[in-house]
Structure 1
Amino acid sequence: MSSASLVWLRDDLRLADNPALRAAIDRNEPVVVLFILDEESPGFRPLGGAARWWLHYSLASLTERLKSVGASLVLRRGPAARVLHETVTDTDAGAVFWNRRYGGAERAVDAALKDALRAEGREVTSFAASLLHEPWTVRTGGGTHFSVFTPFWRACLALPAPRAPLPEPRAIDGVRRSPASDDLDDWKLLPTRPDWAEGLRETWEPGEPAARARLRSFLTEDLAAYDDARDVPSAGSTSMLSPRLRWGEISPHTVWQEAIAAEGAGGFLSELGWREFAWHTAYHRPDLATRNLRREFDAFPWPRMKPTHLSAWQRGETGIPFVDAGMRELWRTGFMHNRVRMVAASFLTKNLLIDWRHGEQWFWDTLVDADGANNPFNWQWVAGSGVDAAPYFRIFNPELQAKKFDPQGLYTTQWAPDTPRTPIVDLGETRKAALAAYDIVKRVRRADAPD
C-alpha cells in the first residue's frame, strides 16, 4: 500500500474544526481515518452503558459523513498501543495525527506512542482541539494551577481569544484500498436484552449534523431566556450540548465563536468555562474520580451503606418527588437537568450519607454526557470534597428546591407522577446527621492548619 497520512480520532468525532484531520489532508497524501475502541489499556475506564449507546450512533453518523467526502472510517478494537502501531504498519503511514487528550492514562498512552512512532522515523503531531485553553496555559500569578473557578475564568478571559474554528473539508483523498475494519455492530455497543434505550432514541440524535443544528436552534430560540430560565427544569432552556461536546461532535471553539456573536451569551459561556475548569483540574489531579481532592475529607465517617437506600435513589423511589423525577429522567433519557443533578447528588451524599463515588459511578453508567473530568468534578463539588466546592454545610433541601424551581410541579409531574409520598428518610434528621459528620472534617482541617 502506498504511503499515507493517518488521523486517529478519539473524542473528536467531527469533520469541522478538526485540526488533526486538517493536517492529514494538507499533506496531500491518501488519508486513513481510524477510531480505536480501547477498553484494555491500563487505567482506561470502560464506558458506561449510555455512553456506549451514544458512541455507536455517533460513529455510524461519522462513517456516512466521511463516505460523502471520499474517505472511510476504519474501526479497530484493542489496546491503542498495539492497534495503532498495527494500523500504521498496515497502511505504511508516514505521518500520524491526533488531537490531544487530558486524562492521565490517556496522556501516558499517547506519549509512549509518540516516542515509539518517531523512533521508527514517522512524523507524529498532536493538536489542541477539545478545550479553549490547554491546562498548562492558564496559571496563577505564582505559576500554579487554579483551585477556584472565578479567578480561573477571569484569567481565561484575559488570554488571547480562542482561535477561529477550521472549516469542514469538502473532500478527502481516501486510500484506494481501505485497511481491514471491524463492523460497528460487532462491537455490541447497543443494549439488547433488555433494550433499555428506547427513551434515548426518542430524545437524542447523535452525530455532527445534529450537534450543529442544536447549537443554531439554541442560539436563536433559547439563549435569550437562558439566564432567567436555566435553573427551571421544565423550561427546556438549556443548550443540551453536553454530550455533543463530550464526544467532540462539535468543538468548543465553534460553540464559542457562534455564541460570542450573540447578545447576552455571557452566562452560557461561563458554563463552557466550568467545563474547562473541570478538565484543567483533572489534568493536574488524574485521580479525580477515585480520591477526595481535599484530603481532609478522607476522614469523613461514611456509615455502612444501606443498599436499599442506594437502589431507591437509583430507581427514583426515594419518596422525594423532585429527586425521583430527576433520577427517572436520567434513566429514561440518559440526561438530567443540571439543577436537579445537584439536588439529587446532595440528597445521596448528605441525606443518605452514601459516598459520592457510588453516585458518580451510577451517573457514569447512565449519562450520555459522562466524561472523565466533569462527572467526578461535579460530584466532588456537591459532596464538598472538591476544589471550589459547595460549603460542607450547604445541604440542598429538595422540597424547597422544588418550590423554587418547579413551583407548579410541571417537571415532577412529567417524570415522577406516581412517586411514593413517604420519604425513605427524614430530611431534617438526616441534615443534622450530615452536619455532625462534616464537623469531623472541620476538626481535621483545623488540626492540619499551620500554627
Structure 2
Amino acid sequence: MTTLLWLRQDLRLHDQPALVAAAHQGAVIPVYILDDEAPGAWRIGGAQRWWLHHSLAALDKALRDHGSRLILRRGDAVAILNEMADSVEAEAIHAICHYEPWWRKAEATLGERLCLHDGNHLAPPEQVTTGAGGQFRIYSAFWKGLQAHLPPEKPLHAPDAIPAPDQWPGSDKLADWNLLPTKPDWSGGFDWTPGEDEARRKIAGLELDGYDDRRNLPSEEGTSRLSPHLHFGEISPRAVWHASSAHDVTFRKELAWRDFTDGVVLALPDYADKNGRAAFDKLPWRSGKAAENDLRAWQTGRTGYPIVDAGMRQLWQSGWMHNRVRMITASFLIKHLLIDWREGERWFWDCLVDADYGNNAVNWQWVAGTGIDANMFGRIMAPLSQSEKFDAGDYIREWVPELKDLPDDAIHDPDAGGCRPGGYPAKLIGHREARERALAAGRKVR
C-alpha cells in the first residue's frame, strides 16, 4: 500500500504525526508542492523563499538518510495531489492541518482521500473554544481556555526508517525553482541556518533565565530566535513547550500566541485584509506622493528616528527583527506617519523569514488598534523614549553605522544631543506633531 505525505509548513521528521501515520500504512511518498496560485496576494515573500530553499534541501537530506526522498512539484496543489495519487494508486494523502484560508479550501476540495492530523499547535484550534463553541477573540481568555488542554502530548520520535515505494514519481529540481532572492542586499543570503537539525539544536540549548526582561532589550541576544523554525514547521510547538519549564510562563504564553492567531484566522479568514473593527474603515489614512515618500523612508530605515531605522535595516539585512522593535516600527508607520497598517503588514510579509499569515495580521492589527483584540488607537508609542527605556544604544550602533560614534546621551535622539551626522536624515515628523495628527484621525473614527 502506498500513501502520499503532503508537506507544507511542517518540514520535519520528528513529531510529525502525518508521517508516522503514513509510515504505518506502508510505502510513503513525501511531496512538497510550490503553489503560488492558491494564496493569491499571499504567496510567500522573498525572505521566506530563501528559507524555503534551504529548508527543503535539509529535509531531502534527512529523508534520504531514512531511506526516502522528497518529491518536488510546482503548480496547483490539489490538481497535482489528485493526479499523483491516481498515478501511484495511493489510497490516502496524509497531511498536517493548516489554517490559512487557501489551505483550508484546498483541504476541503481534496475530500475524503485526505487524512488530516494536528501537529503544528499546542492544542487543535477547534478544541480550544468559548463556552458557546466559537473561537476566542481575546488572548487572555484564550490562554485561560487553553489550560484545560495542557500540557501538550509528548513529541513523537522520528521513524527509524521510512518505507519507500517500488518506483518514485518524477520530481522537479529545487534549483530550477529559483527561490533564492536576487535583490542586491539579499544576494549573499541571511545569517541563518534553516532546517530541523538547527531547530533541534536550539531547543536542546534553550536558555530562558531572565527571559521576561531580556526579551525586551534589542541590544541583547535575549530571544529564542525560534520563530522561523516554528513557522516552517522544522520544530513543533509541543517540542518547544517540553524543552521549556513551568517557570517559563512568559515564553510559553508567546508560544501559545501562535495558536491564538490561527484561531483568529479560522474565525475570520480575511483578517489580513480587513479591519477587525469595521469602524476603522472610516479612518483617514494618508495617501499621495508625500505618504509614498514617507513609506519608502520607513521601509529603508531613513526616518530620522534611530530605533526605527535600526529595526527596518535589521529587517532588510537579516530577514528578522527584534520583537520589541517590531512593535515600535509598526506603531511609527501607523501613528506617526498615519499610513495604513496593511502597507506595513505586506512589507513584513516580503521581508521576514518568519512571516506567518495569522501572526502577522493579528500583530499588525493589535498595534493599529483596528483588531478584535488590540491596543487603543490612541496609544502611541514614543520611539525616542522607548529606545532609551530598553537600552537600544548598541543595537542602533550595529544597524545604523552613521551613528556608531555617538555618545550614550545622544544615540537615541541625535537632534536633542545636537550632534546629528550630516549623512543621517532629519526626522520625517516631530513626535508631538505626529501624535496630535494621529489623535485627530482617531477622533473621526469615534
TM-score class, shorter-chain normalisation, is over 0.9
Paired with 2:385 and 2:39, the residues of 1 have a C-alpha distance of 44
Answering whether residue 213 of structure 2 is matched by residue 235 of structure 1, we say no
Select which of 362, 370, 376 maps to 1:385: 370
Correspondence list, 1:160-239, <5 A:
160-192=150-182, 194=184, 196-198=186-188, 200=190, 203-217=191-205, 219=206, 222-239=207-224
Partner of 1:338: 323
**CA contact under 8 A between 2:94 and 2:115: conserved in structure 1?**
yes
Mapped contact 2:297–2:303 kept (Cα < 8 A): yes
Give the corresponding residue for 1:22. 20
Q: Offset of 1:43 from its aligned partner? A: 4.5
Provide the C-alpha distance between the structure 1 equivalents of 2:64 and 2:313, rounded to a whole number of angstroms.
Answer: 38
Which of the residues 103, 107, 114 maps onto 1:106?
A: 103
Deviation at 1:41, TM superposition (A): 2.4
Report what 1:12 is aligned to.
Answer: 10
Superposed CA offset, 1:420-451 (max 9, x none) = 25211111101000011111222xxxxxxxxx
Q: State the alpha-carbon separation in 2 of the partners of residues 114 and 195 from structure 1.
A: 43
Q: Distance in 2 between matches of 1:209 and 1:358?
A: 35
Q: Is the Cα contact below 8 Å between 1:363 and 1:370 reproduced in 2?
A: yes
Change in CA separation of 1:234 and 1:282 when aligned onto 2, cut-off 3 Å: same
Of 264, 269, 280, which aligns to 1:281? Answer: 264
1:449 matched residue in structure 2: none
- Write the letter of the residue equivalent to 2:104: R
Aligned equivalent of 1:249: 234
The verdict on how the C-alpha distance between 1:104 and 1:368 changes in structure 2, with shifts beyond 3 A counting, is same
* Distance of 1:147 and 1:158 partners within structure 2: 18
Tell me which moved more, 37-46 or 70-79.
37-46
- Counterpart amino acid of 1:401? Q
Q: Select 1:68's aligned residue among 65, 68, 72.
A: 65
Q: Cα RMSD over matched residues?
A: 1.5
Question: What letter corresponds to residue 224 of structure 2 in structure 1?
Answer: S
**Could you tell me which amino acid in structure 1 is paired with residue 351 of structure 2?**
T
Matches within 5 A, 1:239-318: 239-259=224-244, 262=245, 264-305=247-288, 306-318=291-303
Moved more, 322-331 or 268-277: 268-277
In the alignment, what sits opposite 1:158? Answer: 148
Name the SS of the counterpart of 1:439 in structure 2. Answer: helix
CA-to-aligned-CA distance 1:370-391 (integer Å, 9 cap, x gap): 0111111111110000122011
Q: 1:211 to 1:424 in 2, by over 3 A?
A: same
Q: Deviation at 1:198?
A: 2.5
1:432 maps to: 436
**Contact 2:302–2:425, Cα closer than 8 Å, also in 1:** no
Q: 1:358 aligns with which of 321, 343, 346?
A: 343
1:121 is aligned to none
Tell me which of 402, 408, 416 is aligned to 2:400: 416
Rounded to whole Å, the distance in 1 between the matches of 2:129 and 2:197 is 36
Is this contact kept in 2: 1:315–1:328, CA < 8 A? yes
**How far apart, in 1, do the equivalents of 2:293 and 2:365 lie?**
23
Alignment correspondent of 2:391: 406
- Supply the distance in 2 between the matched residues of 1:231 and 1:264 (Cα, whole angstroms): 18
Shift of 1:95: 2.0
* Residue 192 of structure 1: how far off its partner (Å): 3.3
The one-letter code of the counterpart of 2:160 is: R
Q: Which range moves more in the overlay, 225-234 or 336-345?
A: 225-234
Q: Deviations over 1:233-278 (max 9, x none)?
A: 111010101100100000011111221xx36211100001211111
**Structure 1 residue 77 and structure 2 residue 62: aligned?**
no
CA contact (8 A) 2:185 2:317 kept: no
Matches of 1:228 and 1:9 in 2, distance apart?
37
Q: CA deviation at 1:178?
A: 1.3
Asked if the contact 1:313–1:324 (Cα under 8 Å) also holds between the matched residues in 2, the reply is yes
Between the two proteins, the alignment pairs up a number of residues equal to 424
Q: CA deviation at 1:81?
A: 1.4
Residue by residue, what CA displacement relative to the aligned partner does 1:87-108 show, whole Å, maximum 9, x if unpaired? 1122221222111111222111
Quickly say closer, same or farther: Cα 1:93–1:143, change in 2 above 3 A. Answer: closer
Paired with 1:114 and 1:20, the residues of 2 have a C-alpha distance of 16
Q: How does 1:45-64 map to 2 (within 5 A)?
A: 45-64=42-61
Q: Which amino acid aligns with 2:86?
A: T
Contact 1:224 1:264 in 2 (8 A): no
How far apart in 2 are the matches of 1:22 and 1:273?
25
Q: List structure 1 segments (4+ residues) > 6 angstroms apart after TM superposition.
A: none
CA contact (8 A) 2:100 2:357 kept: yes
Q: After superposition, what is the alpha-carbon deviation per residue over 1:312-360, rounded to whole angstroms, capped at 9, x for unaligned?
A: 0000010100000000000010000010000000000000000000000
Contact 2:308 2:383 in 1 (8 A): yes
- Show structure 2 runs of 5+ residues with no match: 404-423
Deviations 1:180-227 (A, max 9, x none): 000000000002363624351xx200000000111122x2xx301211
* CA deviation after TM superposition for structure 1 residue 406, in Å: 1.9
C-alpha change, 1:269 and 1:145, in structure 2 (3 Å) is: same
Which residue of structure 2 lines up, in the alignment, with residue 145 of structure 1? 135
Deviations 1:44-91 (A, max 9, x none): 721100000000000000000000010010000101111111111222
* TM-score, length basis structure 2: 0.92
* Shift in alpha-carbon separation, 1:411–1:199, aligned structure 2, 3 A: farther
In 2, Cα distance between the equivalents of 1:152 and 1:20?
Answer: 27
Distance 2:428 2:100 in 1: 38
Distance (whole Å) between structure 1 residues aligned to residue 166 and residue 64 of structure 2: 13
Q: Where does residue 447 of structure 1 map in the other structure?
A: none
Query: For the residues of structure 2 that align with 1:150 and 1:46, how far apart are their CA atoms?
Result: 31
Identity across matched positions, percent? 46
Structure 1 residue ranges without an equivalent (≥5): 118-123, 443-451
- Answer whether contact 1:72 1:178 (CA < 8 A) is retained: no
> 2:273 and 2:67 mapped to 1: Cα distance?
43
Aligned 8 A contact 1:5 1:31 in 2: yes
Aligned 8 A contact 2:5 2:94 in 1: yes
Contact 2:30–2:70 (8 Å) recurs in 1? yes
